[in-house]
Amino acid sequence: MRRRRSLTPRGVGALVAALCCVIGANLAAAPILLYAGLLLAFLTLLSCLSVWLPRRSGTVSRQISTDLLTVSQTSRVTVRFALRSLRVPHALWHDVLPPAVTGDAAGEYPPESGRLEYRITGVRRGVWPVGPLLLRTVDPFGLAQRVQEFGDTRTVTVVPEVVALAPLAVRVGAAGGTAHTSSSRLGQGADNLSPRAYLPGDSMRRIHWRATAHRGQLMVRQEEEESSPDALVILDRSRSRWTPDDPDAEAAFEAAVSLCASAAIHLADEGYGVDVIDSSGAVLGILRGHEDDRDSLLVALALLSPRGEGRDVATLVGGSAPGPLIYITGRIDEDDALRLRTAGAAVAMLFASDAQPGAEAAAVRGGWSFATLGADPGEAWADAVPEHLGGPDVPR
């Protein structure tokens, strides 16, 4: 614990005034000035002793109401401060906050229970320290102050904002009375049978009698052939796509990270198994229906920044084409768009924050559903959802 002791501006002024009085007393032969100077100096010394001499120690513990703080989300911080001192001072407390969060983390001390509370709001992604706790004591004359630090820091993780997105409902075709879909919720590498409602044209041999008896209507076996992943989200964070040290490019990258998180979680909520990778092929997250998967993805995205170079989409996708393919990038020109391939994806959506002339037309010709990514990721997503895929959910 470090101690920082100093005079207040009023105390510095008192010392200067005392020195001037002593000098003036010698020059003008005025004893009254000498007495005034000595009195000011004595008061300043007494003030310093009143705040410097008391011994104080204490322990600090912090509790944040949310494990992960989302950008623009507000959370409550509870600080328990146990101060050990001969006399509890009347002072001001202040918890040091990083620039990535905002909040009114200050107040008058002492509280009755030693419990301090304030709220913080996430501003910028990352892992940031909160603390230490500062206690500032000022003497009754306001001449001297003592600022002490108590406790260690506590890290807070600010993750990208997750926004609500429009449904992406994919209609599956039927062949031989059996709907074929792709799912990874039931495991990997195996075929599964699940009942669904009977449709005209379904073979009677596929009737699921136990489910029919249980539900009171004809049910048939639906074969679900699993593949993983069902959906793939690619965040292109190549340095060539984002202008370094440009505030506009920084804001655009934040929107891209927010869309990446929102799209992955949205697709997972719609029943897809989702893989999230960057443009170099590094895995950022895998969503398979577990809450821990979601948190792991958000933490990985909280630490993300533009770097490296990208690879071809077909190389990133691999041998098996995904269902929905979401590709999020920054600056893209017509040649870049022509080189992007959908890799056989059932739905290919391309988002770019800085599309050059001709890039959108080239992407659409290549089979992409294109949208410009602005400050609102939800609006860009709604613009990119193909009309024949939007609307209410349908059986998959």
If pLDDT is split at 50, 70 and 90, which confidence band does 297 have?
Answer: very high
Model confidence at 365: pLDDT above 70 = yes
Residue (of 287, 279, 242) closest to 261 by Cα position: 287
pLDDT tens digits along 311-364: 888 888 877 777 899 999 999 999 999 999 898 888 999 999 999 999 999 999
Give the phi and the psi of residue 15 in degrees, each rounded to 5.
-65, -40
39 and 136, same domain (yes or no) = no
363 and 341, same domain (yes or no) = yes
Q: Which residue has the higher pLDDT, 101 or 394?
A: 101
Average pLDDT of the segment spanning 158-176: 69
44 and 66, same domain (yes or no) = no
If pLDDT is split at 50, 70 and 90, which confidence band does 117 have?
Answer: very high
74 and 213, same domain (yes or no) = no
Tokens representing 251 are: 């804001």
248 and 154, same domain (yes or no) = no
248 and 356, same domain (yes or no) = yes
293 and 248, same domain (yes or no) = yes
Average pLDDT of the segment spanning 262-273: 92
Q: What is the dihedral sign for C-alpha 64, 66, 67, 70?
A: negative
Classify residue 140: in a domain, yes or no. yes
Domain of residue 155, residue span: 56-159
**Distances in whole angstroms, Cα of residue 180 to Cα of each of 27, 130, 172, 221, 222:** 104, 51, 7, 11, 8
DSSP-assigned letters across all residues of 273-290: -EEEEETTS-EEEEESS-
87 and 187, same domain (yes or no) = no
26 and 74, same domain (yes or no) = no
Q: How far is CA 282 from the centre of its chain?
A: 20
Count of structural domains within the chain? 4
